[in-house]
Amino acid sequence: MVAGTSFGVGFSESSDSRKAGIQASKEALAKAELTHGEVQLCFLFCTSRHDPVDFFEGVKSCLGPNTQYFGGFANGTCTNEELGYDGYQTVVGLLGNSEIKFDLLIEEGIGFHEYETGKALGEKIAAKNYAKDPQILLLFDAVNRLEGRFRMNYGTPFIQGMNESFDQWPNIIGARMLGDMKFKPTRQWCGKEMSQNAAMALIFSGNIRIDTQIMHGCQPASAYHKVTSTKGASILELDHKPALDVVGSILGDDLLANPQELKFFVTMGKNMGDKWESYNPGNYINRMCVGVDPESKGLFMAEIDIEEGTEVQLMRRSFEMEYVYKRTRKLIEKIKSENRKIIFGMYINCSGRAAAYSNHTDEDVRHVQEAINGEFPLLGIYEAGELAVIKNELQVLDWTGLFCLFSEEMV
């Protein structure tokens, strides 16, 4: 039986960016029981409050010349014990002593060119001609400020572009990246370089598998309403009435007095299953409102895939913490029963699920940590959309947590 891959995670909240990189890297080295020269792959994430150059230099100063890097900005991070967001949180994950192979691919220029960027990155992946299905972690920049004001980089056209290269989707997970809830410009790291306005893929092959469990957090709170007018990612009308008026009539007219409070609060759901069947959270693709235009009475959504004629429901955010614990534990037990060693877990969490933004008093991450109970390292990030394959199609999700286990067969 092989000893298996080594992995360790470190965390820091130091406001000194270089120091934060050093602290998190040294902690990860100690927990992985690796020397700096044994590290093959480094995951690294920090919030936008950090200087990205100083943070990167701090991390690199602790590791060997052959280490490859993958990561970028996150609104927050977590490990087995720590969690935090909207501050100076950083996390570093180090992989070494492994026979697992990996490739790092990047395609820059996603802003205003989501489809083309997805197509180019998909072609790069397909050109590798992997003998077996690769296991892919996909990250792309959420923030487009190329014209000075914020616009989301949309996942729907990006995925459509990628799909041009695949007869069927490989096993793929990922996130749309942001460094704070004000959508300031982000940074990414891939290979040995820092980038921006990019999409990138970490592609594993060999004795490794990624398994996932989606943590849903919404339930229908209204009847179906037909979208009757849109402009880009904005829903202008529902049932031929201003979208803001319809939402206000459901949530209460007092919200219309301060419509900006609807931002990050209103969520619309598309039922991908039979609308007359019992509620099944796995059939829903939810979209979060990220802005309100009082003049047009429109809702600016996080994605561009809600079109005229689409039927949507207003969704109530209410995730049960016991549900998070049980689903986390269920996936862990499944992997262990298959004679597999869990190398590490990754929790990709919608930033809006954090207690500070969701009117909850508890953090779902705490229940993921409790379910893991220190059995293997955990690396977690708060981002602006989760990527997972649902019904054989890659989807951008909102208001979900994506719990992922990276494991190897014990042979």
pLDDT for 219 equals 87
| pLDDT over 60 (residue 264) | yes
For 106, other C-beta atoms within 10 Å of its C-beta total: 19
The confidence score (pLDDT) of residue 3 equals 66
pLDDT value, residue 227: 98
**236 and 135 share one domain:** no
Residue 359 has pLDDT above 90, yes or no: no
- Is 70:177 a contact under the CB 8 Å cutoff? no
Nearest to 194 by CA among 186, 182, 202: 186
Residues 192 and 305 in one domain: no
Whether residues 308 and 228 share a domain: the answer is yes
- pLDDT score, position 371: 98
Residues 331, 383, single domain; the answer is yes
Is the pLDDT at 2 greater than 70? The verdict is no
Of the candidates 290, 316, 342, which is a domain's last residue? 316
Number of domains in the chain: 2
Higher pLDDT, 149 or 359: 149
Percent of the chain with pLDDT over 70: 98
Query: How far apart are alpha carbons 86 and 337 in whole angstroms?
Result: 38
Query: What pLDDT score does 360 carry?
Result: 78
Region of poorest pLDDT, from 64-73, 303-312, 350-359, 396-405 = 350-359
pLDDT value of residue 243: 95
Give 284 or 162, the one with higher predicted confidence. 162
Closest-CA residue to 368 (of 80, 5, 45):
80
Strands (E), 113-187: 135-141, 143-144, 151-152, 171-177
pLDDT in tens, 188-236: 999 999 999 999 999 999 999 999 999 988 889 999 999 999 999 999 9
In-domain check, residue 242: yes
Residue that terminates a domain, selected from 261, 282, 316: 316
| Domain end point (choices 274, 296, 316) | 316
In this model, does residue 9 exceed pLDDT 70?
yes
Contact 368, 402 (CB under 8 A): no
Average pLDDT over all residues of the chain: 94
Domain for residue 1, yes or no? no
What pLDDT band is residue 250 in, cutting at 50, 70 and 90? confident
Percent of the chain residues topping a pLDDT of 90: 80
For residues 248 and 230, membership in a common domain is answered with yes
Q: Note whether residue 312 is domain-resident.
A: yes
155 and 273 co-located in one domain: no
Do 359 and 251 belong together in one domain?
A: no
261 and 114, same structural domain?
no
pLDDT at 49 over 80: yes
**Average pLDDT value for residue range 238-244:** 96
Note whether 171 and 135 are within 8 A (CB). Answer: yes
Is 54 inside any structural domain?
yes
Same domain (yes/no): 137, 55: yes
Instruction: Note whether 193 and 113 are same-domain residues.
Output: yes
Please indicate, yes or no, whether residues 256 and 242 belong to a single structural domain of this protein.
yes
pLDDT at 300 > cutoff 80 = yes
Q: What pLDDT was estimated at residue 1? A: 40
Structure token pair of residue 390: 């649902």
Domain carrying residue 144 = 6-215+322-409
Tell me what pLDDT residue 255 has.
Answer: 67
87 and 161 part of one domain: yes
Residue 344 covered by a domain: yes
Decide if 75 is inside a domain. yes
Q: How confident is the model at residue 257 (pLDDT cuts 50, 70, 90)?
A: confident
What are the structure tokens assigned to 2, written together? 């092989």
Question: Residue 263 maps to which CATH number?
Answer: 2.40.30
Residues 394-404: tens digit of each pLDDT: 999 998 999 99
Q: Shortest CA distance to 263 belongs to which of 324, 182, 206?
A: 182
Determine, yes or no, domain membership for 81: yes
- What pLDDT score does 74 carry? 98
Mean pLDDT of 351-372: 91
Over residues 75-104, mean pLDDT? 97
Q: Rounded mean pLDDT of 293-308?
A: 92
